Amino acid sequence: MSAEIPHANPIRGRFNSWLLAKYEDDLHEEMGPRKAEHIGSLAGTVIEIGAGNGVNFRYYPPGVRVVAYEPNPYMHDRLRASARTHGLEVELRTASAERLDFEDGAVDAAVCTLVLCSVPDPVRMISEVRRVLKPGGRFFFIEHVAAERGTFLRRMQDVLLGPWRYVFEGCHTNRETGTLLEEAGFSRVEIDRFTSETMPPVVVPQIVGVATK
């Protein structure tokens, strides 16, 4: 993400919004229980990075204040519709998530699903999330990650990186996001690994977890 909002390409922007909508139910079936467990327990002010079409809005409990960062303008209509459907008060911001417009320790929790693969500077973004979280605040994430080095899948991820990044607006097939989270300075990072049965084959290695400030 950047202040200039890179997701402004009218073809790719609309395509990715449509694609997420098309597979929303499949992703809900596979990842919904994990999301419901963690997102459903949040309270106070929550920031969601890369909220997309608002696919996570169904999991938030009543009364939570959600500040959604989403730079792709072609997702905004679906995002707002999802907020209305689920009766959720959402404040939409298109500013860069690599420079969150909150003071230190102002946020109760953060949510980020299938987004850290795409940001130009994930280290900076994770650092910003940690900065704005209150002590003890939780950062819930689900991300596709690089396969183990030396495997056939990792070689395919490396080969397909260029075209994949172009089509999916900066998405990296081979980013070692779990390591970035573990090295970000949180007091505790819990990560579980699983293999998706829904995602395209090149990005089936997944992690889910919580980083606590």
How far apart are alpha carbons 115 and 23 in whole angstroms? 16
Question: How many other C-beta atoms are found inside a 10 Å radius of the C-beta of residue 99?
Answer: 12
Which pTM does this prediction carry? 0.93
Q: What is the pLDDT of residues 79-93, one digit of tens each?
A: 999 999 999 999 999
- Sorted by where each starts, the structural domains of the chain and their CATH numbers stand as 10-212 (3.40.50.150)
- Residues linked to residue 47 through DSSP beta bridges, in sequence order: 67, 110
Q: What is the pLDDT of residues 118-150, one digit of tens each?
A: 999 999 999 999 999 999 999 999 999 999 999
Extract the tokens encoding 211. Answer: 């980083």
